[in-house]
Structure 1
C-alpha cells in the first residue's frame, strides 16, 4: 500500500509547488520584464502623483470632466449593514448587476438615464453598465455627445475639446478587433494638462 501511496503524495506535492508557486511567480516575473507598465497596474500620474489606473474607471461627476459608463456596483451601507448603497467603480465590489433585458428595474434606469441626458438618441455605452462595472473606456460617439457640456463648463471652444477627444481615441486592436474607444481618465488628464483645470 505504501508503494502506491508514495507516488501519489509526491505528485500532489510536486504539482502543488509547480502550479501554485513556481508557475505564478515565473509568469509574474516575465510579465514584469516584458510588459512592466501593464504588470504594474497601468498607473497614470499627474504632477508625479498617481491618480488612477488606465484599466479601472473612475466616478467623474463634475460637468467639466467627461463621464464614464454607468457603474452598477453596490456595497454594504456603512451606516446599516443590512442595506446596500451604490459604490461606482469600487474594484473590491466588481461584478455585473445581472439584470436581464426584460428587467423592469433595468428598463426604468436606462429610460431615466436617457431622459436625464436630454437626448433622444444615445450610444448604448452611455446608458448601460459593463459586466465588471469598472470599464474605463467609452465610445467616441459617447465622448462626442459630452463635448459641448465639457467645453461650456471649462469656457473653451468645443473644437478644442473635440480635438482632444480625437487625439485620445484608440482604434480597433490590430485594426480588426473590437471597436474604437476613448479612455476617460486619459482624456480628463489631457484636458487638465491643456491648462484648463
Structure 2
C-alpha cells in the first residue's frame, strides 16, 4: 500500500469517525438532554399557548396591530423593533444608528413615494410624538420639533472655522412648506431645507428646546432593542398605557395596573438590568380577565 493511499485512507476514517460523533451522536445526545423534565419547554422555544394554539414565545416580542397595521388600543404595545418589518425573528438586529445620526436624508421630490432616510434623532422624535398621541400624554422631548423631527440647524458663518457672524440658517430636517421650529437664530431668519442643496459647509447645531428633561414618553418607547425581538418593556412605558387600555376595555385603570404588576419582574439576580414587563403575558391575562367587547 502506497504512502499516499495510506494517508487518504486514514483521512477518510477520521472523517467517518467525526461525522458519526459530531454529526449524529452529539446532536442526538443534546436533543435527548433537552427533552428532560425542566428543560423541554425552554428547548422547544418557550412557546406560549392560548385556547389550544400557540400564540407566541415568552422570549420573543411581537406586534399587536390591526389589519391596517395600526396598534390595537386594547393591548399593551411593545417597544419599536428594527428586525425586518418589526419583530421578524429571521432578521434580528438593530438599526445600527448612533447618537451622531441627527441629520435626515431629504426625500427626492422627483422620485415617487421617496420618503428619504430618517436620522436616529428624527426616528426618536416621530415615535415620541406618535406614542404620546396614542396614549394621551405629551410626546415632547429635548431636541425635537413639535412636528416630530430632529430640531437641527445648519448655520453658515461669514468667516472660516465657524467664525465671524451668521449669514444663513437652515432647519436641516424640515422641508417646505413646513414652518421652521424657530423663527430666528442670532437675528437671522431660519429657512426650510431643500433637497439637493449643499449644506456641507454649515455648522450642525442641535437645539434642545423647552421640552422637559424627563419626558412623559420613556426611552424604551422610542428606541429599538439590540435584537429587535425584546419581549419586555419598562414599567414606565406600561404605566402611560394603562388609561388607554382601561378605557378601551371599559374597566378601571387600577385593574389594568394589577395585571401589569402581576407580570412585572425585577432586576436579574437582584442587581442586573432593570425591572421589566412581559407584553405578551399581560395581553393574554387581560383577554382572559377582561375580554374585548365586540
TM-score class normalised by the smaller sequence: 0.7 to 0.9
Gaps of 5+ in 2: 65-70, 103-118, 133-137, 141-214
Q: Match of 2:55, SS?
A: strand
**1:16 pairs with 2:26:** no
State the shift of 1:144 in Å.
1.3
1:100 aligns with 2:110: no
Q: Distance in 2 between matches of 1:42 and 1:32?
A: 13
TM-aligned CA deviation for residue 191 of structure 1: 0.5
Kindly indicate which of the two structures has a greater share of residues assigned to helix: 1
- Pick aligned residue for 2:83 from 73, 79, 85: 73
Q: Deviations over 1:133-163 (max 9, x none)?
A: 1111111121112112111221211111111
Q: Structure 1 pair 18/102, CA: closer, same or farther in 2 (3 Å)?
A: farther
- Give deviations 1:38-79, integer Å, cap 9, x for gaps: 1122221222222111122111120110001101233xxxxx
Instruction: Provide the residue aligned with 1:77 in structure 2.
Output: none
Please identify, of 6-15 and 102-111, the stretch whose mean Cα deviation from structure 2 is larger. Answer: 6-15
- Comparing 162-171 and 100-109, the one that deviates more: 100-109
> Residue in 1 aligned with 2:258?
163
| Match runs of 1:1-197 below 5 Å | 1=3, 2-33=5-36, 34-60=38-64, 61-74=71-84, 87-104=85-102, 105-118=119-132, 119=138, 120=140, 121=215, 122-197=217-292
What TM-score do the two structures reach when normalised by structure 2?
0.58
Q: Please, what is the CA RMSD of the aligned residues?
A: 1.9
Question: 2: distance between equivalents of 1:178 and 1:22?
Answer: 38
Q: How many residues matched?
A: 185
More strand per residue: 2
SS of aligned partner of 2:49: strand
Q: TM-score, normalised by structure 1?
A: 0.84
Q: Per the alignment, in what secondary structure is the counterpart of residue 45 of structure 1?
A: strand
- Where structure 1 has 5 or more consecutive residues not aligned to the other structure, the ranges are 75-86
CA distance in 1, matches of 2:279, 2:91: 20
What is the DSSP-based 3-state SS (H/G/I as helix, E as strand, rest coil) of the residue aligned with 1:37? helix
Assess if the C-alpha contact under 8 Å between 2:131 and 2:221 holds in 1.
no
**Conservation of the 8 A alpha-carbon contact between 2:263 and 2:281:** yes
What's the CA shift for 1:181?
1.5
Question: For the residues of structure 2 that align with 1:32 and 1:106, how far apart are their CA atoms?
Answer: 43
Which 4+ stretches in 1 moved above 6 angstroms? Answer: none
